[in-house]
Amino acid sequence: MAKLSLVHKVPTQEKVVAFTFDDGPHPLYTKELLDIFHKHNGKATFFMIGEELNMYEAIAAEVHMAGHEIGNHTYSHPDLTTLTIDEARTELQRADDTIRKVTGKHVLNFRPPFFGVNDDILMLAAEFGYHSIGAVNGEAKDWEQPGVDFILDHTRPTIENGSIFLFHDGYGERAQTIEAVRVLVEELDAEGYRFVTLSELFGIADLQL
Give me the active site residues, please. Answer: 22, 168
The Cα 138–Cα 135 span in angstroms is: 6
What angle separates helix 85-103 from helix 119-127, to the nearest 10 degrees?
A: 40
Q: Report the Cα–Cα distance between both ends of the chain, in Å, rounded.
A: 19
- Phi, psi of 47, rounded to the nearest 5 degrees: -85, 100
Query: Is 180 within 8 Å of 151 (Cβ atoms)?
Result: yes
